[in-house]
Structure 1
């Protein structure tokens, strides 16, 4: 028991102890000044000083000490004085058991107070510092009471209740001549406003001297002041205390600690001779009266501080959410070695409710050929870009090349007589373009067999029948679109309708639109407007399109049938076609005027064809 008393008093006094050497007095242990029992009191408020020797009943008990013949004597050493003086008791300064009461305290009471417990054979003494503050030295918020002592703390679970009792109220009750009264004041968390009771809500209620919080909510957190008033010997005395109220998650919720990351058995790829950081994150719920919580790493069952290896270090950080902690601990391994791959790394969390642990391992990271992979990826991207550019610029040439290699010559798969039937407006400009440009290139340069009604029709036939026959015997219908094309009742309209019907019904004929001159959409007949939406349109751009290598002829060749025969066969076919036309030319000269007149006279076409 003696050793326990010694340790306790050393803790209270900060380790300072001395012994009196006066042989005429009993041996007296001087424990110096207690650093934990210092007292702050406001000038004009009731205050008291308790002897620290009796702060732990298991060490010293006042009743037991009195029974053993010990006397408690108080001295004081006021500021500015050198000698200790006995305390003169009065109506203002009195002693009640182990306490020295100052009712009220004044500024001149500031100083060191010594309580001495002694009998004939032993003596113990300890000092306490008392400081009486002036009103302008105390902590004060706008409209709030002044308070000298630090606030006590009250923790209340959300959606739960608790009764707040003003600190030291029972002590005042023992000294009062009647029951004390208490006034409560609340200041919100940002310290912007102080409200005296009532607080204008149904969840906080003063019941006699206590403040009852029935249902704790976040807005109720903050600082609560309680001022105790009591009467003694005809005078009115008071003191003010403060309570800091904080909300916590309800005690009914699970309070077991958990690890959020990593998962159990997780494998981290690492490279030897490099640094690695292993992160562990856990939740540590708060438990009232047992706030101790911890998160840590172990390596093969040993904590970092037990390894004696400078390559391992640990850093911790926490985030507070109404006293529940989200804790993060990072294990840093400098210069990872091959033997570290065989170690067991465990993250653990613990609070008063329980503990949890998860282990992880390290494995050698497979080294990828990053340089080779990057170069290959770069070359691939460059090639893809080049191919895209080549295709975007030369797609017509590529398509023609593909058709020449893999396309099917339609002359071997059908019984058509002509490759192209040209439909155009019968006027001098379009007729000149068709006869001198289109026909010449298609027949003489490209080797296609071309049908032109005014040239290839025989005299004496019916225009409607001849037109339908020519269209049916052709693989393509090439329509030269111009402002004067396909007026109602014209032969061009008959050719267009026959081509579209044949394309829609059998699919053996394809219609190609060649725009010779720009045409406003509203000026076209209905059939031609529909054809422009669904069919390919090749635009003639004057001098730019005259060369055989121009975009116009390339686009037109894409739409025309495939020709894979050699140049000699193409030339032979062209000469044979030209010879046949010369034979028939003499027999048709006499009919040219008749055909032209017929073409220009819409009423000669049967109504059914129109």
Structure 2
């Protein structure tokens, strides 16, 4: 080990273990946390350090240590029975006393420096004969509507082991009643109120009693429930009635839209006519126009009316849905009518319409069923119609990311697919150029640089995954190095795909995914999977993978079960590399078009 490595090693240990150096230690100061924490004696308080963030340091690859200090004594806070629990970036203080008020400093140390931030805890004395908290938030309730109040302790609920919530109104406990009879019902952290009335004005307190690592605590928040007396409820459309209206060609026609919006006070309600989704003008010089909106108010609400005028009914107006749309402050409603002819001589347009519809439906079905084959055939027969991609500044056709081997956790199936089968087909048969980390990266090159540069230089990203790829997120608070860079690959790709729109991701699913496994998938992957779908390798396999493996137990399988999984997976990769396979056709469909430079022979069908 040379001197530079020894210096880095000892400096890392020194930085990450030197808690006694808080006083006088030179750290980059991020000032005070914007959100103050308020509490009262006897309650618990949660302080959160926001320095573990990408804009402060790269916590995914840089080792770090978090310490909390009381600014009064500069003594490091550690777990103290009945009083303090430290959970990384979160500091819990139980059984608050007035003396606990003050500044609490969070310090994060890395081998390259340290960062600090102050959190302020404000402790207020409770007011006698008042069960509410001195600092309150306001939430609005709509009069005569079904509404709800939300307890502002959502962030706390996600962290504690278990909890119960009790609601109070003006210091009196609210009992959870039958939804069919009572007006109050609790659901998770919400208080549902049926038929809000002026008497519901008042002070509401939600008290959460919870357990956390053997400690029992209590936190309360008070809400000022303000009933909004001026209200606007859901519109009720009186006409049209979602039916058909018959009219004579060459004659005028008028149709009324009439709706009632219950409410009190002045509100903006809007009623308009549309033909399908095309707005109808108010200009009476048009062939079809709508008259100005008429409003008539009474003590219960407002009636809205608007007439739709056809000066002369023409054939092209028939068989169209004319929809009346109504908006109120609270909700939206619509109703329509379909214009039909009155005599039998107008049946011809119906047959023409039905025939055209049938032909369109058949064409759409054929195209949908054979879309990929049609597009691939068109690319092969007319390559000169496509732009050559050599001039777009990209080096690789696709960047391949997959779950790889690390620490004995075998992802051999994904390795075999990504390192052998994909290159054998896409590079060997179709002439594409792939980038695979570890295979194509330069020796000694930093992984972060290799990932960012290669993804930027790629036209597509192929994400290969199985049902257990994302399981480890549910079993470990600290990712392994390989899991960290694989997560970085995904994050970089999703950023370019969802935020920048500069990269197209191709999802390759190796095995059938169960609902239990889906619960562990990142939200970005689930969003792409729902939006564009995934190319399913397992559908083309001769033997489907044994689906007994669940994410909830992906770390508890014994060696015998691992061996059986390997034997079962051997058959998963038994399909040939034939270009006529449905899987390879789909993959080629989503790969970039190489333009006139692309000249795959007929035998490869690329």
Provide the TM-score with structure 1 as the length reference: 0.31
Structure of greater Rg:
1
